[in-house]
Structure 1
Amino acid sequence: MDQAPLFERLWNGSAQMEEWTEAVSVGAITSVAENVITVHTTYFCGSVTVIRTAAGLVFIDTAKPDTADQTLATVRGWDDGPIHTVIYTHGHIDHTSGIRAIDDEADARGVPRPRIIAHRNVLRRMERYEASHGFNSIVQGQQFNKPGYVYPIGQRRPDEVYDDTLSLTIGGEQIELFHGRGETDDASFVWLPERRILASGDFVIWVFPNAGNPRKVQRHVPDWAAALRRMEQLKPGVLIPGHGPVIFGEARAAQVLRDGAEALEHLTNRTLDLMNRGATLDEVLHAVKVPAGYLAKPYLLPKYDDPEFLVRGIYHLYGGWFDGNPAHLKPARTAELAAELAQLAGGADKLAERAATLAAAGQTRLAAHLIEFASAAAPEARQIQAIRARVLQGCIEAESSLMGKAFLAVYQRDAEQRAKATDQA
């Protein structure tokens, strides 16, 4: 498939990433250079880059559970040789889970399984996923509306780890790994110096950096910017993102890396400036914005994560969990506070009615506060839960990021279920 015309439309903003995802859904190969390809199956599955060497194939990432077989089959249409080494750019399941398909194939062929190389913190991540397995399963099941979802664990762990940098020569191919913190603390980007090819991992993902997920561990906005600057200094001629199409040309690669770094540096510097002057989290959240010019870039659209979530993460990184509001230091139970406010308002239904009015007027943030207090004060009230579902639907429609929409939808579904349950009782 010739991806060039579609890429140009993505670059100029006249095409959406959903169109690219549909185009590569059957398994598509981008020829990056002689003996180097990148395999795509969907935007939501990490890119898999494969290097053909005299010692065998080198994989950079492996795909997610439901696309691993398709990805491997696509590679096998290009080269059927042994897989010598697998590099994990980080420990997320859409980059590591395909190792099972690779290992199963090696076992079936009676050849050694490939060695796995990654940053040292990938081991710690895999241990943490096992320790918090129940929580991760609940959160992911809620976010993606998959009741009973079980978060995949047990991926094969790295055989070799490194700390800051690692230089490899495999079958005559020089490969360099660099560690950086961003979406994760275990991330690597991969540099082929003789070819000037950079595989960025999830430091570049064709949307605004995913550094603010509300239900994930601390992410590292300033370090993400530093990693992008480090990549920019390499002056790559080809940039292979962790998600999305390959970017060819030194000028375009530099632009993507520079713009991403500048946007993250702006958020970090502005947040720190306000914190250093004593601003509370509430003040910071409503004052720090990304300049609109960055958010208009087709590779920095805030479609998945929300820059406001990143600001909260920066505040937490430097200032801890306390937000500067004394009522939040040792807060009352939400249900107790809700009951008190409902009594002052003349009943939980009054809070719900006001929430509906505010939502209709476009004041969805304020409406969300009031409807959640109404729900907490009268959780079994059918009419209040019905209003709650409508108010939260308005919040979803007002939210631009997929992540924000997904988390709001968790509670909207809860309201719908409670309304039905109490109606049937």
Structure 2
Amino acid sequence: MSRNPLSAMFHGPERPPEEAGFFWRGGPFEVADRTWHTSLGSGVTAFETSQGLVLIDTGTEGLAPKMASGLREFTQAPVHTAVYTHGHLDHAYGLPAFLLPGQSAPRVIAHSALPARSARYSRTSGYNEAINARQVSGDVTKRRLRFTPPPIPPDTLYDDSTSIEVGELTFELRHARGETDDHTWVWNPEHRVLCPGDLVIWAVPNAGNPQKVQRYAWEWSDALRAMAALNPRTLCPGHGAPLVDEPETIQRLLLETADYLDSIVDQTLAALNDGAPPHTDIVERVTLPSSDSPWLRPIYDEAEFIVRNVIRYYGGWYSGRPSELKPAPRREVAAVVSELAGGVDILLARAALAVEAGDLRLACHLADWAVESEPTDERVRTGAAAVYEARAEAEESLMAINIYRSAAHYARAGRPFR
């Protein structure tokens, strides 16, 4: 069994970064003595101690049985403790699959904000089912995930930090708001293994998601720097492959990602402080950082969305454009724009020219006005959908791709955008 699934990437012929990236599936790999990491949709790390297993995250309800089956090829120890790094469905819902028949209930630890997250899910279950379907497939009609509380909720909560001992091993838990407000990262000093949860996902940090609740890029950066100060030997991320016995690479990953976030936050705040210009102007003024590192590819979230999340936290919802403070119905605006342009045919023809010129941002504005002006016209629906599909093809991040795919789907169906 390999102790480092990525050794060739850093010590031999370079392998494609997607082999390590956000969508990586593999394991169990032994990452330290009697310690394994496995990933299927999300990562699970299992530490075997004399008192039983300590699990850091537990996967989804549907995929956990396969991960548990693989783990049980190496250990039959009962689960003593499970730590949920946060309350998302791909981290806190698979615990039952890891339990041995008849074993006593394990201790389950999480941050004190996790129960409130579960309550929010219950109050907005329909919304969350829709946006997750759109984010994954581009079609809100394909709802598969059910937003209910974890099947085994935490019984032990902490606030800022806590430390536990299980058998011969120590686990230090620290809270850091990042992708979520209930996030925990875990440090095992004996093996120098770091389990950052979704604070590391082998992609641009999910700090901007345009459809979901507030993210905290500045605190995320602080947490990454605190992790780097521990000089981890091994990193087992929330998504993607583990880095085993790679302390120098881990330092680079953590600090590069912190610098990436700091650049976005600092530039956004500077623009906000320069007279509170309209939000779109702020986005245009920020020089979005780029990187060739495999852990900073914009395959899931992207830098432009992170800018908007920083604005949302510090700047409120008003965009800075007077018409958008109390706007007219979009269909009325679209009808007037169409009339001034000389009809929807002209709008669509101009949108097609913009697509040809590579100006997909402008093309989408024109397509919006056309389809909102004449939503029942088959030619308009088809033309607008073609623009949105072209935009999806040109995007890199999963979030942007599937939002545009969703727009195309609903334009073709003659239904309101969802």
Counterpart contact for 2:278–2:320, Cα < 8 Å = yes
Q: Provide the residue aligned with 2:266 in structure 1.
A: 269
Distance across 2 between alignment mates of 1:311 and 1:229: 20
Shift of 1:159: 0.3
Query: Does structure 2 conserve the Cα–Cα contact (< 8 Å) formed by 1:10 and 1:298?
Result: no
Deviates more, 1:268-277 or 1:245-254: 245-254
CA distance in 1, matches of 2:230, 2:36: 21
Contact 2:18 2:24 in 1 (8 A): no
Correspondence 1:379 to 2:375 = yes
Residue 395 of structure 1 corresponds to 391
Seq. identity, %: 37
Which of these residues, 57, 60, 73, is aligned with residue 61 of structure 1?
57
Instruction: Give the corresponding residue for 2:141.
Output: 147
Number of aligned residue pairs: 409
Q: Which 10-residue stretch deviates more, 345-354 or 11-20?
A: 11-20
Task: Write the deviation string for residues 314-361 of structure 1: whole angstroms up to 9, x where unpaired.
Answer: 111111111211111111111111111111111222212211111121
The 1:409/1:3 distance shift into structure 2, 3 A limit, reads farther
1:311 equivalent in structure 2 = 307
Whole-angstrom CA distance in 1 between matches of 2:60 and 2:259: 31
Q: Deviations over 1:83-138 (max 9, x none)?
A: 11110001111111102323xx44xx222121210001111111111110011111
Cα deviation, 1:37-59, whole Å, max 9, x if unaligned, reads 11123xxx221000111111110
Secondary structure, in 3 states, of the residue corresponding to 1:286?
helix
Matches within 5 A, 1:344-423: 344-418=340-414
Residues 216-251 of structure 1: per-residue CA shift (max 9 Å, x gap): 001111111111111111111112111111113221
For the Cα contact (< 8 Å) 1:393–1:412, is it kept in 2?
yes
SS in 2 for 1:96: coil
Contact 2:201 2:237 in 1 (8 A): yes
- Structure 2's unaligned 5+ residue stretches are none
Aligned pairs for 1:146-225 within 5 A: 147-152=141-146, 153-155=148-150, 156-225=152-221
Normalised TM-score (structure 2): 0.93
Separation in structure 2 between the aligned mates of residue 239 and residue 183 of structure 1, nearest angstrom = 18
| Structure with the higher helix share, 1 or 2 | 1
Task: Kindly state the Cα deviation for residue 16 of structure 1 after the two structures are TM-superposed.
Answer: 3.5
How has the CA–CA distance of structure 1 residues 388 and 57 changed in structure 2, closer, same or farther, with 3 Å as cutoff?
Answer: same
CA offsets, 1:8-60, max 9 Å, x none? 337999434544589975x522211112111123xxx2210001111111100
Whether the 8 Å contact between 2:47 and 2:53 is mirrored in structure 1 is: yes
Distance 1:22 1:230, change over 3 A: closer
Question: Is the alpha carbon distance of 1:154 and 1:6 closer, same or farther for their aligned partners in structure 2, counting shifts above 3 Å?
Answer: same
Once residues 176 and 21 of structure 2 are traced to their aligned partners in structure 1, the CA distance between those partners, rounded to angstroms, is: 28
Tell me the SS of whatever aligns to 2:294: coil
8 Å contact kept, 1:289–1:307: no
Aligned equivalent of 1:422: none
**Deviations 1:188-214, CA, capped at 9 Å, x for gaps:** 100112222111111111111011111
Name the CA distance, whole Å, in 1 between partners of 2:298 and 2:70.
31
Unaligned runs of 5+ in 1: 420-425
Contact residue 24 and residue 239 of structure 2 kept, 8 A: no
| Partner residue, 1:111 | 103
Q: Is contact 2:54–2:82 with CA below 8 Å preserved after alignment?
A: yes
CA shift in 2, pair 1:20/1:236, >3 Å: closer
Q: Which residue of 1 aligns with 2:9?
A: 9
**Residue aligning to 1:249:** 246
The one-letter code sitting in structure 2 at the alignment partner of 1:325 is: R
Question: Structure 1 residues 12-21 or 398-407, which shifts more?
Answer: 12-21
Pick the aligned partner of 2:119 from 116, 119, 127. Answer: 127
Q: In structure 2, do the counterparts of structure 1 residues 346 and 22 end up closer, same or farther at CA, with 3 Å as the change threshold?
A: closer
Q: Distance in 2 between matches of 1:318 and 1:407?
A: 25
- Asked if structure 1 preserves the Cα contact closer than 8 Å seen for 2:5 and 2:29, the reply is no
Give the Cα separation in 2 of the matches to 1:64 and 1:10.
30
**Matched residue type, 1:33:** A
- Kept in 2: contact 1:12–1:298 (CA 8 A): no
Asked if residue 39 in structure 1 is aligned to residue 34 in structure 2, the reply is: no
Aligned to 1:327: 323
Correspondence for 2:255: 258
Once the 2 structures are TM-superposed, how far is the Cα of residue 290 of structure 1 from its aligned partner?
Answer: 3.0
Q: Work out the CA distance in 2 between the residues paired with 1:297 and 1:124.
A: 36
Report whether the alignment pairs 1:340 with 2:336: yes
Distance 1:391 1:137 in 2: 26
Q: Is the 8 A contact 2:22 2:201 kept in 1?
A: no
Q: Larger relative CO (CA 8 A, sep 6+): 1 or 2?
A: 2
SS at match of 1:58: strand
Between stretches 232-241 and 376-385, larger displacement belongs to: 232-241
1:300 matched residue in structure 2: 296
Between the aligned partners of 2:30 and 2:5, the Cα distance in structure 1 is 15
> Counterpart of 2:143 in structure 1: which amino acid?
Y
CA distance in structure 1 between the partners assigned to 2:142 and 2:260 by the alignment: 38
CA distance in structure 1 between the partners assigned to 2:23 and 2:400 by the alignment: 27
C-alpha change, 1:192 and 1:54, in structure 2 (3 Å) is same
1:138 and 2:138 matched: no
Rounded Cα–Cα distance in structure 2 between residues aligned with 1:11 and 1:221: 32
Cα–Cα, structure 1 residues 13 and 380, in superposed 2: closer, same or farther, change >3 Å? farther
